[in-house]
């Protein structure tokens, strides 16, 4: 790719991550949440894959790392939703102040973990589709 495109996307990529992270971390306050945040961040990776060659990106962030991240976040999400969410919700909401970042019970954690699930899913499918 062109050097301009490369430079611009190198500059743009952290901001895309930032927007995605903002959407995920503010999911319980503003419209958004895990799925949009994951989609936004995955578009950042799509940009990298299209601009730099796919093997180079995959060298930095390998498939096995992504799958492991996906599995770990899946287990974490399962524990969060199935046990922690039902056992400690009341205690957690009493510690927090509503309408602040630190609120929403365990929804904050779920949003971030769910975001990782979405990112890994889209990036893995993207890798597979671009390579073959």
Binding site for other proteins (CB under 8 A): 27-34, 58, 62-65, 67-68, 70-72, 74-75, 77-78, 81-83, 85-87, 89, 92-93, 96, 98-99, 103-107, 110-111, 114, 117-118, 120-121, 124-125, 128-129, 131-132
- Integer Cα distance of 25 and 33 in angstroms: 8
> Cα dist. 101→30, 86, 106 in Å?
10, 21, 12
How far apart are CB 96 and other proteins at their closest, in Å?
A: 6
Q: Classify 105 in phi/psi space as left (phi over 0), alpha (psi -120 to 50) or beta.
A: left
Q: Which is nearer to other proteins, 17 or 74 (CB)?
A: 74
Q: Which is nearer to other proteins, 2 or 94 (CB)?
A: 94
Cα angle value 61/62/68 (rounded, 5°): 105
In 3-state terms, what secondary structure has residue 103?
coil
- Integer Cα distance of 41 and 58 in angstroms: 16
Q: Which is nearer to other proteins, 9 or 103 (CB)?
A: 103
Q: Which is nearer to other proteins, 23 or 47 (CB)?
A: 23
How far apart are CB 99 and other proteins at their closest, in Å?
A: 5
């Amino acid at each position: 790719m062109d050097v301009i495109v490369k430079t611009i996307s190198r500059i743009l990529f952290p901001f895309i991550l930032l927007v995605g992270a903002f959407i995920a971390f503010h999911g319980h306050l503003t419209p958004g949440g895990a799925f949009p945040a994951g989609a936004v961040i995955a578009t950042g990776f799509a940009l990298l894959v299209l601009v730099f060659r796919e093997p180079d990106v995959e060298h930095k962030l390998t498939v096995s790392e992504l799958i492991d991240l996906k599995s770990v976040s899946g287990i974490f999400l399962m524990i969060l939703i199935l046990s922690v969410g039902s056992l400690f919700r009341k205690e957690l909401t009493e510690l927090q102040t509503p309408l602040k970042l630190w609120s929403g019970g365990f929804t904050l954690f779920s949003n971030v973990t769910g975001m990782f699930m979405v990112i890994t899913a889209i990036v893995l499918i993207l890798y597979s589709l671009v390579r073959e």
